Structure 1
């Protein structure tokens, strides 16, 4: 179910982004919210602290696997703070933002802040662009038929069944991001390779050291696997409904202006207090892509303005409930891979003949 854009340059000449930007700015929604982020940072410290206390009190127990699951939630909540710092939604000052990002991504999650900022900024500039969006390029799954030719035999098997395996393989998502980040730091592809590398090493030493000091080897390995797998699943489930199944683009960027480019490629997950917390505000994906530096707290109010603006100017605004958003992603992945499954069956028939 690909929501291909019917719009081309000039089709929304009556809906300039500057008008929407001015309305949002006049509403005060681009102003920083230091009090909110102070509360969120304190909440994360409390959540992580509670997990650490539970871990130390339980000691040698298989109940520690529940603690591992809980700490996976804490890890992603910390990653949300690194994300907002990277967008300057928390601080405009680069040094303060970098400090928060390094702590929450490198030290807490083992992810390079410098690598992530560059990677994520390219994604924001070219969402769902086959050749320019790095979030599409680093996936085994395909979002356009032209990508299939670049996949090897193992990857093609995954692609043929990607409607299911995309979600199953999210257990490896945290590992894949961490591996990519470590390689980027090792290559010197970040501004502070020594600092970032030291923090990544500190993450490994502190995390593994604590787990293997408190738990016997078998329980420790199980703890690590559960934490790593659930962190990956949580991250993947937050990111999956944002763009998958929306308009996929290729060719020149001038075909769409900024407003069209962001709205037509993004999908919101219908908000609620629980959804806002679990998604770290990224369920307001349309608003976040239009205004990346907007504090998380303001996205809900911005949603009302953006929805009204899109309705007035005839621009599709895609928002679904929690379950429906994942169902739409799965249907899209199934439809895109249908020719690949047919090709695989034809190949087996030829070999059998």
Structure 2
């Protein structure tokens, strides 16, 4: 039957220690619901990409598997030919069982069912901001006041398009790949000129192993920043210390959020699309740029249109970076130590306080913990599961952090300062001793 095909034989029983040794690119096993699968060859055909499933090689991927897939029974059909046997001596059994009971409770409460009226109104409000941006210039001219007002409208349109596309990207609205992907392409590619494939490739890795060095692309920052307590020391002891990281809390506000979208995301997005020959993504991205130029060049001319373009990218970039990084950068950042799903997500994320403004301003990412635990749960239901998650965390002694926006933004700079000081001490100790 081929590699991993043991369906006609008595299932082999493995220990977790045996499974953990199969964690290399050319030798990958994973555990799902106490069954062992050899995904070495199949991982390259994984619809979500080889990296996101490869990050769980040699580990129990049950909760990640259930978090990312809506139709579990359909997906399991792909696993049957890969079956190797079963596993015994499960680790962290109590916490895993409790979390799975919590997930079942959330399913029974209907928390994975989307309110289509909510998303219709959210979609309408995104469209309204784009129309207001255009009409402000059309009716009031291109003076600096209407220019700035239009820019704020358009920046809001961009940020809210991203927050809404986030739910569709996780298949949290229709729970249907075709339908959700259609709206993700509209919001992310047609509205923002970005590649949904690129975003999903990066973002699903982040969700699979948040704040894990070498696995989460969002913490591959050592060329520009050192974060957490482990990375600063490792970078200081390597030959890759090019920047004065002890000053990173000073230069981050000026260059980090400001340049994330206009430079880094543009470069990585187009590189991803071109190297992988994703012609559909590229076509829709080009259509967005044509649409933008068609609408704004007649009113602003080429020069000011380019200024407008870069300015709204900066607004969008700053909005996105401060919101998303406030949930992650101040948290634990370390190498993979195979934490169970609940601990993995709680150590890497925190929440913001709930309010009408916070819900809107963050696209409900003020419920980052709940979103990371249940990425396919529609954003409007995340607040309902928070008390259940808090109770489970209390039972297992896991910290559950809720911060004000002000404190959360301040913690970014405080954590960068602490990490920079760690780098400085390690650098001087290693290179000047």
TM-score w.r.t. the length of structure 1 is 0.87
Q: Which runs of 5+ in 2 are unaligned?
A: 1-90
Q: CA deviation at 1:250?
A: 0.5
Alignment of 1:60-79 (within 5 A): 60-63=142-145, 64-79=147-162
Rounded to whole Å, the distance in 2 between the matches of 1:12 and 1:27 is 23
Determine if the alignment matches structure 1 residue 168 to structure 2 residue 254: yes
Counterpart residue number, 1:21? 103
Alignment of 1:178-217 (within 5 A): 178-188=266-276, 193-217=278-302
Deviations 1:28-76 (A, max 9, x none): 2112222211121122112222222112222221120231122111101
Q: CA deviation at 1:221?
A: 3.6
| Larger Rg computed on CA atoms | 2
Structure 1 residues 201, 152: CA separation in 2 closer, same or farther (over 3 Å shift)?
farther
Structure 1 residues 342, 110: CA separation in 2 closer, same or farther (over 3 Å shift)?
same
Q: 1:224 aligns with which of 277, 290, 309?
A: 309
Q: Check whether the contact 1:65–1:226 (CA below 8 A) recurs between aligned residues.
A: no
Rounded to whole Å, the distance in 2 between the matches of 1:114 and 1:11 is 35
Q: Check whether the contact 1:15–1:313 (CA below 8 A) recurs between aligned residues.
A: no
Rounded to whole Å, the distance in 2 between the matches of 1:268 and 1:100 is 27
Determine if the alignment matches structure 1 residue 315 to structure 2 residue 398: yes
Rounded to whole Å, the distance in 1 between the matches of 2:327 and 2:309 is 28
Determine if the alignment matches structure 1 residue 51 to structure 2 residue 139: no
Deviations 1:87-106 (A, max 9, x none): 01112111111111111111
Structure 1 residues 91, 341: CA separation in 2 closer, same or farther (over 3 Å shift)?
same
Counterpart residue number, 2:170? 87
Structure 1 residues 150, 124: CA separation in 2 closer, same or farther (over 3 Å shift)?
farther
The structure with the greater share of residues assigned to strand is 2
Q: CA deviation at 1:15?
A: 6.5
Structure 1 residues 150, 245: CA separation in 2 closer, same or farther (over 3 Å shift)?
farther
Q: Check whether the contact 1:75–1:108 (CA below 8 A) recurs between aligned residues.
A: yes
RMSD: 2.4
Q: Check whether the contact 1:65–1:223 (CA below 8 A) recurs between aligned residues.
A: no
Structure 1 residues 151, 220: CA separation in 2 closer, same or farther (over 3 Å shift)?
farther
What SS class does the counterpart of residue 338 from structure 1 fall into?
Answer: helix
Rounded to whole Å, the distance in 1 between the matches of 2:362 and 2:325 is 11
Structure 1 residues 50, 11: CA separation in 2 closer, same or farther (over 3 Å shift)?
same
Structure 1 residues 93, 316: CA separation in 2 closer, same or farther (over 3 Å shift)?
same
Rounded to whole Å, the distance in 1 between the matches of 2:321 and 2:178 is 29
Residues matched between the structures, number: 334
Structure 1 residues 150, 320: CA separation in 2 closer, same or farther (over 3 Å shift)?
farther
User: Taking CA–CA contacts closer than 8 Å with sequence separation of 6 or more, which of the two structures ends up with the larger relative contact order?
Assistant: 1
